[in-house]
Amino acid sequence: MFVVILFITFYLACVWMINQKYRYQQRFLIVVLGVLTLLIGFRDNWPDELPYVLAFQMAPYPWDFFRTATPDIGYAETGYFFLASVVKMIYNSSRFYLLVMGGLSMWLLYKNLDKYCLVPVIGLCDYVARFLLNRDFTQMRSSLAILILIYALIFIQKRKIVPYMLLVLLAYQFHHLSLLGVPLYFFAIYKIPKKYIVLGLILAVIGSQYLSESIAATVESYSSDFQYTTYVEGGYEEGKGLANPMVWFQIGILALFAFYEHPLAEKYDHYYLFRNTYFYSTLILIFFSQYTALSGRTSTVYATVEMFMLPMILGALPKKLRSLFLLGLGLVFLVFFYTKYNDSMSMIKAGQQQMIQVTQ
């Protein structure tokens, strides 16, 4: 119950900040991100926390990094392991390491919100509700990689392929899912007509149902090459398909964003960039919907631009509808945050019970 009250208070504070001067919003943003950095750094026994801590403890110092064989660190990306090595050189403390990595992601989040977001405080609410707990408290590598990929989007709009691909390469050193950024460049540089977006969604829905066996065969044949085997094994292959409410949530957001295309495209330079990127994410979510982890973890990379789209939609709405929209957003955000928090707490309890059984 305390978490619910805390999130509602946070959201109401963000809504109040909407009408404040932008510089005050920036200061509020910095304070909140500072607090989040402390919460990330001082968390305890969260899912996936132990592998990161153990990797940090096993990391050699930078001058020995390339002369030492990489131990079994629980993840494949040596770039993130090298960051652990650099942090260890500064101060050999696991707590300091978690604080630094959390702070690095929060700094990148600030840069992205400041660069792209019309109302940063609402974008922050979306990030906290939808992505924070799964990424920054759990899958730390994906947080860093995704925020780099989001920062790189500006180079798609400027059609500067070299700096864009260099940032994708950098993000790849931290998480291999960053390869999704390569085809996005060629997908997002065009102003795709709305009718093709509708057609693409229809074809994706049909294909996900009637080509499921072919999709499964293709996914599994490339799982080792692209190192996503863990996402298609065990219970992860039993996705909800089109019964997954996230599919329809993203379709709804995309439809609303496209409905206000005319006023938004005239007013905001990034409109088509965000629409195409979110369309790309939604197609991935639908196409791989038979897999729980694969569809969720691949689509969420670029679903992150939602934190820029929602404030743009808010700005396009008639004034009499904005309060209703904010109320609806608040309820949706609360459901997302509370669900993810409960899932995390359940995983923590399961891990603690497992440790008790091992020690008995």
Helix (H) / strand (E) element for 337: namely: helix 319-359
Cα gap 92→304, rounded to integer Å: 33
Predicted confidence pLDDT, tens digits, the chain (360 residues)? 788 999 999 999 999 999 888 889 999 999 999 999 999 999 988 888 999 999 999 999 999 988 888 888 888 899 999 999 999 999 999 999 999 999 999 999 999 999 999 899 999 999 999 999 999 999 999 999 999 999 999 999 999 999 999 999 999 999 999 999 999 999 999 889 999 999 999 998 888 777 666 555 555 544 444 454 455 455 444 556 777 889 999 999 999 999 999 999 988 989 999 999 999 999 999 988 777 667 778 889 999 999 999 999 999 999 889 999 999 999 999 999 999 999 988 888 876 665 555 444
- 348 CB-contact burial (10 Å; exposed 0-12 / middle 13-18 / buried 19+): middle
> What's the whole-model pTM score?
0.91
d(CA 100, CA 97): 5
Q: What is residue 223's predicted lDDT score, i.e. its pLDDT? A: 45
Looking at residue 358, its pLDDT comes to 46
HSE at residue 285, side-chain half, CA atoms within 13 A, is: 24
CA proximity to 53, closest of 9, 7, 120, 100: 100
Selection from 75, 77, 152 nearest residue 108 by Cα:
152
The pLDDT value recorded for residue 239 is 55
